[in-house]
Structure 1
Amino acid sequence: MSIVDDDEGSRLALSNLVRSLGFQVRLYESAEEFLTSASVVDVACLISDICMPGMSGIDMYEYLLAQGYAPPTIFVSAYPTPSLQARAANSDALVLLEKPYPAASMTHWLSVAIGKP
């Protein structure tokens, strides 16, 4: 699992949840940092904030799609405007969760992403 979020508190809280479920996780504070990492081709699930300085989470996902590789992706956003919601829905990502989201929602979507009921 890889988490891309410019907010350190959100990134760390989500990584604690993911680790508590038994998954290994890598953390990135920007889309650019993730895209230049070796994790791009070796990630089972990508969790990304949408609104970040520089490249947005959706732009990063669209870039991955254009490169022929986009892992199951869960978007998160504190400010999911209708236009962001529509763009996320049209991107083939799994879901857009509004921050703060219940841990049970993230747990459900992580199960969907890795194909476990």
Structure 2
Amino acid sequence: MDAGPHIAIVDDDDAIRRGLSSLLRSEDYHVTLYDRAEAFLESLGSSVPHCLLTDIQLPGLSGLDLQLHLRVAHPAIPVLIMTAYPQPSLREQVMLAGAVCFLRKPFDDQDLLRCVGRAVGRNDLGRNSI
């Protein structure tokens, strides 16, 4: 079976990256993990994902900086932002910059799957979830 849509995850927390990867792979997504925004940007020459899920707080380039860079360089990549520090002004800023979703950690698995599904145009959201 072919892998589903390619989702890139950028988060500096290894446990979060692995957990999100496991969830998305269970829903037939192809997942690539990055611990920093710069590593993701370096990979764009060889592979462009269908969607990017990034934390806002990252070492080096922040998730917001990454989103703004992609808005210019790769505007077709939908961006989902997640954060443990959800200030209303930050939510407004990332949504105005074109984010598909703004997820507050910890978030419900089904909320994430709905956001990713919307970003990649899948209608079978959460089909493998219990």
TM-score range, shorter chain: over 0.9
Larger radius of gyration: 2
Cα pair distance change 1:31/1:59, threshold 3 Å: same
Shift, 1:38, TM fit: 3.4
2:79 to 64, 67, 73: 73
Q: Is the 8 A contact 1:47 1:76 kept in 2?
A: yes
Work out the CA distance in 2 between the residues paired with 1:45 and 1:68.
11
TM-score by length of 1: 0.92
CA distance in 2, matches of 1:116, 1:24: 14
| Number of matched pairs | 117
Alignment pair present for 1:24 and 2:30:
yes
Change (3 A) 1:87 1:99: same
What whole-Å deviation, never above 9, does each CA across 1:38-84 have from its counterpart, x for those lacking one? 36751101000011111111111111112243411111101111221
Q: TM-score, normalised by structure 2?
A: 0.84
Identical aligned residues as a percent? 37
Name the one with the larger helix percent: 1
In structure 1, stretches of 5+ residues that fail to align are none
Residue 85 of structure 1: how far off its partner (Å): 1.0
Structure 2 residue aligned with 1:111, among 117, 124, 130?
Answer: 117
Note if 1:43 corresponds to 2:59. Answer: no
Counterpart check, 1:92 vs 2:98: yes
What value does the CA root-mean-square deviation take over the aligned residues? 1.5
Select 2:61's aligned residue among 55, 59, 62.
Answer: 55
